[in-house]
Amino acid sequence: MKVTKLISSLALGSSMVLIFEPFNFWFLGFLIPLSFYFLIKGEEVKNSFFLGWFLGFGLWLFGIFWIENSIYFYGGANKVTSYFLVVCLSAFLASINGVFISIFAYCKTNTNFDILFLFPSTWVASEWVREFLFSGFPWFYIGYTTIDNFFISGFIPIFGVFGMSFVLIFIPALIFISYKSFLKSYTDKKKFTYASVLLLILFSAFFSYEAEWTKEKEKINIIIIQPNISIEEKWSFQGEIESIDLFKDKIKEHASQAEKEEILSIVFWPEAFLPGLSSKYTEIINELDDLTKESNFASIFGTLSKSTNNEEGITNSLLSLGKLKGKFDKQKLVPFGEYVPFSFFNSFFNFFNFNRPNIISSNNNVLINSENLNISSAICYEIAFQDIFLEHGKKSNILFNASNDNWFGNTIGPYQHLQISRYRAAEHRKPLVRSTSTGVSALIDKFGNIVGSIELDNEKKVILNSRELKDVVISRSGHTPFVIIGKWPFIFLILIIIFGSFMTKIFRK
C-alpha cells in the first residue's frame, strides 16, 4: 500500500471536522465518505484497516482536541500528559473505524450493492457501537451534519441520526451509480430507475419537512439564565455567595413579573448551578418555593444531591420549584469527568495525581411536569444519547438540556454540543431549551433552528457576568415517526445487510 493513500485517508478524516459545527460545511458530508470509498475500494482487509484507522485518527485528533482543556485545567495533568491522553483516546476511537472498514473490505462483492448498501451500513454500525462500547462516546455521528442540509433534513424526524448517516452516504453513491449508468449507455434503463429513486428521495424529504408531526399546545414564557462564571470561581466561597444571590434575585424578579402574566413563566438554569449538595440550600429553595406558589411561575435548576439508593453516592440533578414538580438525575456520566469507568484507572489516577470524580449514575429519568406541561430533560453530555429523550418522547411537550460547557473552554466543543441539541429538537419536532454555565445557551425551535442564543463567554475571572434570554415558545403535543419506531428497526436492518454480505462471502468461498 502506498504511503500517499494513508496520507489521503488522514486528510479526509481531518477535513471531516469541517462538516460539523462551528464550521458547518455540511455539503462536504456528501463528498468525503464517497471519496473514502474509492480510496479503499480495491484494498485488502489489512490495508483497509489502516486506511480506516488513519481516517478515524484524523477526525478524532482534530475534532476532540478540546478534551485537552478539561484534562489540563480541571484534571490536574500537565500539558504533555494531557496531549498524550488525547492522542491515546483518538488512537483508540480510530481503531473502531479501522475494524468496521476491515469488515467492509472482507464482505464486499465488487458490485453496486457495495457502494449503495454495504458501505453505508458498516459506517453506521461503527457509529452505533460507539454509543455503548466502554460506556459510550456518541460524538461525531455524520448524520448530525444533516441538521442544516436542506436537501434531506426533512427525514430527521423519521429516521433519526443513524438513519440520516445512512441516507447521507447513500445519496451521493446513488448519484454516482446513475452517472456511471448514463455514461455506459444512453439506453440503459437502470439509469432511469436510479434517477427516479433519487428524485423520490428528495421530494419525500421536502414533504416530510413540511409535515406537521406534532401539534401546538400552549404558550410559555421562557427565561434562560447563563451565569458566565468559571468553574474555579463557582466553587469558591465567594462564588457560592454570588451564585445564591443571583439565584434568589432572578427567581424573585421573574416570579413578580409572572403575577402579571396569563401564561406560565419558567426560568431555566444550567447544570450544577448551585455549587454543592441540594441539602445545603433546602431553606433557600423552600423559601423561594413558598414565595412563588401563588404566581404563574416555575423554575428548573441544576445542583448535586444525595442518591436515594446509595447513602454515600452523589448524583448530578435537576430540581424544580413553583408550578413544576419533580427531580431528574443524570444517567449517562462523562467517563473520567464524572466517574472512573474501570478499576484499572483508579491506579492511573493515583499515579498521575489527577482529581478523581465521584458522581454516580441514577435511573431517576422522569419528566419534570405540571398539570398541563411535561418537560423531558438531559444533563450535559447525555443529550448525545438518543434514548434519554426517546423514553418520554410521546409524553413530552418541551425538551431541556442543562449543561456546564466551561469544561470545554473556548474551543469548538461547545458548538459541537449545541449541534447535537439542535438535532434532538428536530428528531422530536418540539422546542428545546438549552441553559449552560458559560455558553452557548440557546432557544431552539421544532426544526432545530436557533431562535435566540447567548454567545460563549470568554472572561474567565469575572464572577457572574450573567446574561439572560427571554422569549415565548409554544409547547407541542404528539410525536414523530422516529419517536414511535426508535432506532432499533434501522439498526437491525444494517446488521442484516452486513451479516447477509458476510454469509454470502463465506458460502462463495
Provide the pLDDT for residue 313.
81
The answer to whether 83 touches 65, Cβ cutoff 8 Å, is: no
In the chain, where are the structural domains located?
Answer: 3-212+487-508, 214-331+362-479
Give pLDDT tens digits for 440-476.
999 999 999 999 999 998 766 666 789 999 999 999 9
Share of the chain above pLDDT 90, in %: 71
Other residues' Cβ atoms within 10 Å of the Cβ of residue 187:
7
Give the integer Cα–Cα distance in Å for 363 and 365: 5
Query: Following CA atoms 490, 495, 496, 501 in sequence, which dihedral angle do they give, to the nearest 10 degrees?
Result: 140
Provide the pLDDT for residue 490.
94
Q: H or E stretch including 503?
A: helix 488-508
Query: Following CA atoms 81, 87, 91, 94 in sequence, which dihedral angle do they give, to the nearest 10 degrees?
Result: 140
Burial (CB count within 10 angstroms: exposed 0-12, middle 13-18, buried 19+), residue 201: middle
Give pLDDT tens digits for 208-250.
999 999 999 999 999 999 999 888 888 888 989 999 999 999 9
Other residues' Cβ atoms within 10 Å of the Cβ of residue 53:
24
Reported confidence tier of residue 407, pLDDT bands at 50, 70, 90: confident
Least confident among 177-186, 252-261, 377-386, 428-437: 177-186
Burial (CB count within 10 angstroms: exposed 0-12, middle 13-18, buried 19+), residue 351: exposed
Reported confidence tier of residue 349, pLDDT bands at 50, 70, 90: low
Provide the pLDDT for residue 193.
84
Reported confidence tier of residue 352, pLDDT bands at 50, 70, 90: very low
Cell numbers for 284, please give them.
433557600
- HEC profile of 417-470: HHHHHHHHHHHHCCCEEEEECCCCEEEECCCCCEEEEECCCCCCCCCCCCEEEE
Provide the pLDDT for residue 493.
95
Provide the pLDDT for residue 228.
93
Provide the pLDDT for residue 310.
61
Measured CA angle at 91 (ends 105, 75), to 5 deg = 155
Q: Which amino acid is at 19?
A: I
Measured CA angle at 304 (ends 291, 299), to 5 deg = 30
Provide the pLDDT for residue 307.
76
State phi, psi for 506 to the nearest 5 degrees.
-65, -45
Reported confidence tier of residue 433, pLDDT bands at 50, 70, 90: very high
Give the integer Cα–Cα distance in Å for 470 and 453: 10
Which has the higher per-residue pLDDT, 79 or 337? 79
For the chain, report the end-to-end CA distance as a whole number of angstroms.
25
Specify the 3-state DSSP secondary structure of 477. strand
Mean pLDDT of 272-298: 92
Q: The sheet that has 432-436: what strands, in order across it? A: 368-369, 374-379, 398-403, 432-436, 441-444, 450-454
Which has the higher per-residue pLDDT, 413 or 509? 413
Give the integer Cα–Cα distance in Å for 465 and 67: 25
Provide the pLDDT for residue 40.
96
Burial (CB count within 10 angstroms: exposed 0-12, middle 13-18, buried 19+), residue 215: exposed
Measured CA angle at 491 (ends 485, 493), to 5 deg = 95
- Buried (b) or exposed (e) across 377-392, using 16+ Cβ within 10 A? bbbbbbbbbbebbbbb
Cis, bond preceding 22 (omega within 30 deg of 0): yes
464 in the Ramachandran plot: left (φ > 0), alpha (ψ -120 to 50) or beta? Answer: left
Provide the pLDDT for residue 432.
98
Give pLDDT tens digits for 311-345.
568 899 999 999 999 999 999 877 655 655 555 45
Provide the pLDDT for residue 326.
94
Specify the 3-state DSSP secondary structure of 42. coil
Give pLDDT tens digits for 494-508.
999 999 999 988 887
Provide the pLDDT for residue 175.
93
Residue tagged 448551578 (cell numbers)? 273
pLDDT of 409 higher than 90: no
Provide the pLDDT for residue 434.
98
The domain at 214-331+362-479 falls in which architecture? 4-Layer Sandwich (3.60)
Provide the pLDDT for residue 350.
52
Residue 437: partners with Cβ closer than 8 Å, 6 or more residues away = 226, 227, 228, 229, 231, 234, 270, 271, 272, 273, 403, 404, 405, 406
The answer to whether 183 touches 194, Cβ cutoff 8 Å, is: no
Residue 9: partners with Cβ closer than 8 Å, 6 or more residues away = 36, 39, 51, 52, 54, 55, 58
pLDDT of 37 higher than 80: yes
* Beta-sheet pairing, 368-369 with 374-379: antiparallel
From the list 322, 302, 304, the residue with the least C-alpha distance to 313 is 304
Q: Mean pLDDT for the chain?
A: 90
pLDDT of 78 higher than 80: no
From the list 445, 450, 400, the residue with the least C-alpha distance to 426 is 445
Q: Which residues partner with 402 through β-bridges?
A: 379, 435
Alpha carbon separation from 123 to 119, 223, 394, 453 (Å, rounded)? 6, 40, 30, 33
Give pLDDT tens digits for 131-184.
998 778 999 999 999 999 999 999 999 999 999 999 999 999 999 998 887 777
